[in-house]
Amino acid sequence: MGSQSDWATMSHASETLTSLGIVHECKVVSAHRTPDLLFEYATEADTRGLKVIIAGAGGAAHLPGMCAAKTHLPVLGVPVQSSMLSGVDSLLSIVQMPAGIPTGTLAIGKAGAINSALMAASILSLNDESIKAALLSYRTKQTDTVLANPIPGEV
Ligand code: RP5
């Protein structure tokens, strides 16, 4: 994520990954404040064994796009809700990548953070049966919870 202030949002991605048993690391790497670290992180990601990168950032959110420019690994961008423009600035900064360097863009805020983890799990499940089982179990539990909780008074 681009700042410690993004952790309130991105912790939801981390918690979801943990609940699925997916080993991961959480780091602050800023496209603006630590650009050399970002280049190093993205350039070395593949050889370090990373498979998917989730990049959460707010405002002029260059982090996912710049990260994707320096690695062929899938980069999932989470627009963090900003105080001035409610995250619409973050969303547009991440989603409108010119052709050639893609970023997968999730929803603004908590929902996007959770879904970034589920999307990462979906990608990893293509080559990992235990993650596939964990993801299917997560979805089944979610469905069962909805079905077990009808609108009060309308059972
Ligand atoms: C972005 O600037 C970060 O991703 C964060 O969402 C935003 C504000 O950062 P702080 O000023 O709170 O550190 O780079």
Residue 3 marked ligand-binding: yes
Q: pLDDT tens digits, residue range 18-47?
A: 999 999 999 999 999 999 999 999 999 999
- The ligand 1 atom at the shortest distance from the C-alpha of residue 56 is 4
What 3-state DSSP class applies to 144?
A: helix
Place of tokens 């089982």: 133
Q: What is the pLDDT of residues 108-123, one digit of tens each?
A: 999 999 999 999 999 9
Residue percentage of the chain with pLDDT more than 70: 99
List all residues 6 or more positions away from 7 whose beta carbon is below 8 Å from its beta carbon.
Answer: 1, 26
Mean per-residue pLDDT, 148-153: 84
pTM: 0.96
Which domains are assigned to the chain? 4-147 (3.40.50.1970)
Point out the ligand 1 atom lying closest to the alpha carbon of residue 2.
4
Decide if pLDDT at 65 tops 90. yes
| Contact predicate 20/121, CB 8 Å | yes
Cα of 56 from ligand 1 centre, angstroms: 10
Q: Which DSSP string do the residues of 39-101 spell out, in sequence order?
A: HHHHHHTTTTT---EEEEEESS--HHHHHHHT-SS-EEEEEEPPTTTTTHHHHHHHH-PPTTS
* ipTM (interface predicted TM): 0.96
* Residue 109 Cβ contacting ligand 1 at under 6 Å: no
